[in-house]
Amino acid sequence: MDKRCTVCNHAERPEIDRQLIRGVPYRALAEQFGLSSSALRRHTKHLAGALDNQRHHQDQANLAVLLERLDILNLRLDRLFNTATDQHSLFVALGAIRESLRLVED
Ligand SMILES: [Zn+2]
């Protein structure tokens, strides 16, 4: 957010951003929200930066969920491997190892 930007500081910024993304012309928005077209044009850079940030945060959140799922799967496979080894069920132990490898590959 740019402190000098009249759009960034506008009370209805979320709505203005939504309309900019929808492609509503600067002139129409300028009139509706009492802004200048040039301010809106400058603001699109701030909007692009904000969208990039949002995407980055979403990617990070998705990654965290995936890592958590991998951890759970890994724990289950470890347990399965240990049980199979304890019971001398080498075929099942081998399967658990194979699945562990698939988790890392994909
Ligand atoms: Zn701005």
For the chain, which residues make up each domain, given as ranges? 13-105
Residue 23's pLDDT is: 94
- Non-local (6+) Cβ contacts of 85 within 8 A are 93
CA of 6 to the centre of ligand 1 (A): 7
pLDDT in tens, 46-65: 999 999 999 999 999 999 99
Q: How far apart are CA 35 and CA 52, in angstroms?
A: 24
CA of 103 to the centre of ligand 1 (A): 43
CA of 12 to the centre of ligand 1 (A): 12
Residue 106's pLDDT is: 60
Mean pLDDT to the nearest integer, 78-89: 86
pLDDT in tens, 1-49: 677 999 999 999 999 999 999 999 999 999 999 999 999 999 999 999 9
CA of 94 to the centre of ligand 1 (A): 58
Query: Chain-centre distance of CA 36, in angstroms?
Result: 32
Alpha-carbon separation of residue 27 from 16, 43, 57 (angstroms): 12, 14, 32
Residue 31's pLDDT is: 97
The predicted model scores a pTM of 0.61
Sign of CA dihedral 17, 19, 25, 28: negative
Report every protein residue that has its C-beta within 5 angstroms of ion ligand 1: 2, 5, 7-8, 43, 46
